[in-house]
Every structure is written in C-alpha cells, then in structure tokens.
Amino acid sequence: MYLNSLLLDEHFQGEIAYEQLTIGRKLGSGGFKDCYAGTYLGVTVAIGELRVQNFTEMDITEMKHEINVLKQLRHENIIRFIGGKDQDHSPQNADYSICIELCENGDLYDFMRKTKKPTFGRLIMYMHDIALACSYLHSRRPSIIHRDMKSMNVLISSDDRAKINDFGLARIRPKANASLHTQCGTPNWQAPEFWTPNPSYTEKVDVYACGLIYWEILSWAELGYPYHNLTEHQLYEAVRDREERPPLEKLRKYPQSLIALIQDMWRKEPKKRPSMSHVVDRLAEYLE
C-alpha cells in the first residue's frame, strides 16, 4: 500500500526503464538498501535496490521524502537524482530502485582511511565543496536543513570533488525565522541543541556538523572521528555541559584563521556560528 502511494505520488518524476539499466558490481549494503554500480542510458550511475516488505510507515515516509528532496536539487556538490521505479521486473528482485549519480571514490569517511593525505589545497577544496552545497541548501526558499551531516554522507567523485548525499533526514524550513523541533541525526556530529526533550534548532545545526567534518578532513582521520572514545551519555555531558570539542593541538600547523573558523562553527550558541555562505567566502581565501 505504501509503495503504491509512493509510485502514484503526483510529484514523482524520472521513472527509469529497466531495459536501459545495467547493474554491475555491488558497492555495499546498509539498512534496507543494497547499492550497486551500473549504467543507465550509457551513463555510469549508482543504483539503490530497496526491499520494502518489512518497511514501517516511517521507513516509507523517509524514503519518499528523500526522493522528493533530491528531485528539487541541482548543484554540482549535491548528488544528482536520476530516477526511480517499481521493481516488478528488477534484476535483483527488489521492490523499488533509485538511480543516482555515482561517486567512484565512495564516502569521505572511508576515503580518508584508504588514501594518502592530500595537499592543503585539496583539503580546502573538499571543505569548500561541502560549504557550497550546504550554502545552496540553506539559501533555497524554503530552505533545507540536512540534519545528518557527517563524513559518511559526503561522497568523493572520480574527479576528486566532494558531494553531499543522503537526504532522508532533511527537512524543509518554511520561514526564515522558524525553528524545527524533531530529534534526528547521528549523535557524534549532532549540535548540542538537539539534545533536549523538545529540541528547537535552525540550519546552524548543519554548520556545527560541518565544523566537525572539517576537523576530520584536516586531521585526515589520524585522530579518528569526533568523540569516538565516548559513550553517548559521556558525549552529551562533555559536549553540551562542559562544551568540550575535538582536540586541535595537532592541527596548529594550519592557518590560525582557519582553526578559528572551525571553532566558530562548533560554538554552543547557534547564533554565534557563521552562516555557510560566510564559510564559503572564508574558505575561498585559501584557494586563491
């Protein structure tokens, strides 16, 4: 029933034709989705094969929401949605498929752990790409808050550019002065304002998370991921109550202004964090 409602949604566009889809090697699995490399109309793509028979209503709603968000977005640093289709004739016997742009180098989290640390200029380029994508989301009307920014949701393309992925938790913010009030995301990258029974937050939660991703990029995973040695309860106490942040001692070789920008991005008070458009401008200074 829920699958049919998804397929009949009047806003859904981009139905793919299976006779023009070729599924290749498996890229990975997660939750209710298997991912494959493939081609569609001669273009290299990533294919998400979904099995919805055990889906809850919330699962279907989240999947439908991600597709609807992706359809709206056109930016070189955001994964491009190509199409989707009911899987009546799926080669993998799945229930539903989504077809998106393929980023051959996988997600940033794994990429940092399997490749040599690049030059400072390339690190800044990744950071700038992420900032451009978030700035685009936040400047839309209505604006979009990703809400689950983390290194696993940043993909690296074959031409070495960073692109934001996974919009299942994204929410559209209808008014510029409105706050949202639902809990979501991954605790290690979550802004402190999430951690209350009735959270109230703005797009500044993405700014906070990007600050942590930037710390990961500059350390190139040598220091692990944010708060990797803390339990969830310890994380809340350290980050929210004591305002602890990831260590910066080993990053002092980088420009102090860049370190200060990251510190501003992960400030406890959301209003004191810069906008992502400001971050774009600041990072551009290091690309000149």
Q: What is the CATH number of the domain that holds 22?
A: 3.30.200.20
One domain for residues 145 and 90? no
One domain for residues 128 and 260? yes
One domain for residues 51 and 114? no
5 pLDDT exceeds 50? no
Is 51 buried (19+), middle (13-18) or exposed (0-12) by CB count in 10 A? middle
42 pLDDT exceeds 60? yes
31 pLDDT exceeds 70? no
Query: How many independent structural domains does the chain possess?
Result: 2
Q: How many Å apart are CA 255 and CA 50, to the nearest integer? A: 45
- Residue ending a domain, among 70, 101, 132, is 101
Instruction: Give me the amino acid identity at 172.
Output: I
Between residues 1 and 208, which one has the greater pLDDT? 208
178 pLDDT exceeds 60? no
35 pLDDT exceeds 50? yes
pLDDT, position 181: 38
Which of 148, 160, 241, 264 is catalytic? The answer is 148
- Residue ending a domain, among 67, 101, 135, is 101
User: For position 192, which CATH number holds?
Assistant: 1.10.510.10
One domain for residues 82 and 150? no
- Residue ending a domain, among 69, 101, 133, is 101
State the residue range of the domain holding 93: 2-101
One domain for residues 217 and 244? yes
Instruction: Give me the amino acid identity at 56.
Output: T
Strand partners, 172: 144
One domain for residues 152 and 276? yes
Q: Which long-range contacts (CB under 8 A, 24 or more apart) does 261-268 make?
A: 262/211, 262/214, 262/215, 262/218, 263/211, 264/211, 265/207, 265/208, 265/210, 265/211, 265/214, 266/208, 266/211, 266/212, 267/208, 268/192, 268/240, 268/243
One domain for residues 83 and 144? no
One domain for residues 129 and 197? yes
Mean pLDDT along residues 227-242: 90
Note if 159 is an active site residue.
no
One domain for residues 250 and 278? yes
264 pLDDT exceeds 50? yes
Mean pLDDT along residues 166-184: 52
